[in-house]
Amino acid sequence: MADTPAVPIPDELRALDARHLWHPHTQHKGAAPPLPIARAVGACLYDYLGNKILDAISSWGTTLHGHAHPMIASAIAEQAHCLDQTAFAGLTHEPAVRLAGQLAAILPQGLTRVFYTDSGSAAVEVALKMALQYWTNRGEKRRLIVGVENGYHGETFGAMAAGARGMRTEPFAEHFFEVARLPDPSVDDGEPAVAHLRDLLQQRAKDIAAVIVEPLLLGAGGMRVWQGKTLQVIRELTREHGVLLIADEVLTGFGRTGPLFACGAAEVVPDIICLAKGLTGGFLPLGATVTREEIFAAFLSDDRRHTLFHGHAYAANAIACAAARTSITLLDDDSTAKRAAIEETHRGQIAALAVHPMVRSPRVLGTLAAFEIGEDALDPRGLELAEFALQRGVLLRPLGNTVYVLPPYCMSSQDLTDVYSLIGLFLEARC
C-alpha cells in the first residue's frame, strides 16, 4: 500500500502559493499572504491549525446550506461513481434532465427552457447572445442592450459591457459594445430609472434588444436594495414596447432575498433568467440560463444559421447537476424558517449598529444585511475591517466601503450575533 501523503503545513502552502498563484481581485504587491484553509463544515472554515473562521459571506454568495452538507456530498459521490462528465451536444443524461424539470417547477411560471453553462458570467453571456440573436433570427436589427448604473453581471466581456463602468473595467472599455444605462434603481424609489427607461423606449424601442437588471439587489455594485414595484414597472414597460427583460439572479436566486427568487417576490416573470452561485449549494461550478418557449422557438429553423452556436465543455456536468438537484430539495420549509431567522437577527443587529456615527444607509433584504462605512468608496477602513475580522475568526470582504453580511442558511443566531459584535468592536476602535 502506498504511503499516505503528508498533510502540507501552512508555510509550505504559502511558499507554493506565492511562487505560482494569481488570486482574483488582489493587488499582490503588498498584499498579506492568503490564509490556507484546510476544511469546512456548516457555517465555518478551518485553517491548518484548527482555528475556526465564521463564513459571514457564504464564500462569495455560493454556499447556501452550509459547507460539506452531507446530503449534497453523498449525491456527488454517488454520481461520480456512475457518470462524471460527457459532452452535452448530441447527448443527454438524467441529472441534467431532472434538474431542468426541478428548475422549471420553482422558477416564475413560463420560464421552461434551460441552457446550462459553468458560471454566472457565462449564464449572462448566453442570455445576451440569446437576446441579440433572437431579434436577428426574426429579421430585426436590434443591437442595443440597456443596463443600470452600479449594475454588475460578471467578469467576461459581454457581462462587463452590460455592467457598470469603472476602475475594474477601464482597461477594456474600448472593446465593449454599446450599452444604454438607466439611473441606479435604488435611488429616489426608482423614479429616475423608470422615467429614463420610458423616454428611452419612446425614442429607441426598435433598437433595443433587451434590458438587463439584477432584481431587487445590485450586488457587487454596492449591495444596493431596490423596490419590487420599480421592477414591476420595468417589466410592464418592456412588455408594452416588445423588449426582452433579462433578470440576473446569479446572486439573488435560491432564497437569498427571502423568497426563492427575487422576481417571484415582485411577481414579475422575465423573458430570460440567469442562475449560478447557489445553484449547487456552493459545491461545484454550474450556471443556467432559462428562458420562455417563445425565445427558444425563434431558434428553430431549417436554416442552421439560426442555431445558438454556444457551448461549454463542462456544461451540464453530471456531478454538478446531481449537487444542484439535492440542493434544491433542501430549499424546504426548514430552509424557509432558517432564512427568516437570519433576517430577524439581521434586523435587530443592524438597528443597533445604525446609531453609530460611522454607519450609513443600513439595510436588510432577506439573508443580506449591508451598510456603508463613511462617505468614500475608497475608504481604507473596509480593507481594515476585513483584516481585523479574519484575525478574530470571521470572514468578511467589504465592497470598498460597503460592509455586507450574507451567511449560509445554517448559521445560528448566536454565531451571526457574534459577527455583528466583532463589527461593533471594529467600529468602536476606529471611531
SS3 66: coil
Examine the pLDDT at 5 and tell me if it is beyond 60: no
Average pLDDT over residues 292-314: 97
Calpha distance 245→238 (Å, rounded): 7
Residue 425: predicted pLDDT: 97
The CATH code belonging to domain 72-329 is 3.40.640.10
| Closest to 212 in 3D by CA, of 176, 256, 247, 258 | 247
Q: Residue for cell digits 445553484?
A: 279
Angle at 125 between CA 256 and CA 154, to 5 degrees: 50
User: What is the pLDDT confidence band of residue 3, given thresholds at 50, 70 and 90?
Assistant: very low
Following DSSP, what letter does each residue of 13-57 receive, concatenated? HHHHHHHH---TT---TTPPPPPPEEEEEBTEEEETT--EEEETT
Decide if 10-69+332-430 and 72-329 have a common fold: no
**What's the longest Cα–Cα distance across the chain?**
74
Q: 258's torsion region: left (phi>0), alpha (psi -120 to 50) or beta?
A: left
Residue 198 exposed, middle or buried by CB count within 10 Å (0-12, 13-18, 19+):
middle
The whole-model pTM stands at: 0.96
- Residue 16: alpha-carbon gap to chain centroid: 30
Examine the pLDDT at 4 and tell me if it is beyond 70: no
User: What is the pLDDT confidence band of residue 8, given thresholds at 50, 70 and 90?
Assistant: confident
Do the bridges between strand 272-275 and strand 287-291 make them parallel or antiparallel, or are there none, so unpaired? antiparallel
Residue 6: predicted pLDDT: 63
Q: What percentage of the chain reaches a pLDDT higher than 70?
A: 98
Residue 376: predicted pLDDT: 82
The contacts of residue 196 (CB under 8 Å, 6+ apart) are: 182, 183
Residue 168: predicted pLDDT: 86
As a whole number, the mean pLDDT across the chain is 96
Examine the pLDDT at 394 and tell me if it is beyond 90: yes
Read off the DSSP letter of residue 178: P
Examine the pLDDT at 2 and tell me if it is beyond 80: no
Residue 390: predicted pLDDT: 97
Q: What is the pLDDT of residues 196-252, one digit of tens each?
A: 999 999 999 999 999 999 999 999 999 999 999 999 999 999 999 999 999 999 999
Q: What is the pLDDT of residues 253-292, one digit of tens each?
A: 999 999 999 999 999 999 999 999 999 999 999 999 999 9
93 touches 100 (CB < 8 A): no
Calpha distance 43→417 (Å, rounded): 13
Read off the DSSP letter of residue 251: T
Q: Residue for cell digits 456603508?
A: 372
Calpha distance 278→295 (Å, rounded): 25
User: What is the pLDDT confidence band of residue 379, given thresholds at 50, 70 and 90?
Assistant: confident
What are the percentages of helix, strand and coil residues in the chain, rounded to 5? 40, 15, 40
Strand order in the sheet with 44-47: 37-41, 44-47, 52-55, 394-395
Q: Lowest mean pLDDT: which of 159-163, 164-168, 333-337, 341-345?
A: 164-168
- Which carries the bigger pLDDT value, residue 1 or residue 136? 136
Calpha distance 252→260 (Å, rounded): 8
How many other CB atoms sit within 10 Å of the CB of residue 283? 25
Length of the chain: 431
SS3 330: coil
Q: What top-level class would CATH report for the domain 10-69+332-430?
A: alpha beta
Q: Where are the beta strands (DSSP E) in 374-420?
A: 394-395, 402-405
C-alpha cell of 315? 456544461
327 touches 280 (CB < 8 A): yes
User: What is the pLDDT confidence band of residue 10, given thresholds at 50, 70 and 90?
Assistant: confident
Delimit the domains of the chain by residue range: 10-69+332-430, 72-329
Q: What is the pLDDT of residues 182-195, one digit of tens each?
A: 999 999 999 999 99
Residue 49: predicted pLDDT: 93
Residue 1: predicted pLDDT: 33
Average pLDDT over residues 38-42: 97
Q: Lowest mean pLDDT: which of 5-9, 246-250, 262-266, 424-428?
A: 5-9
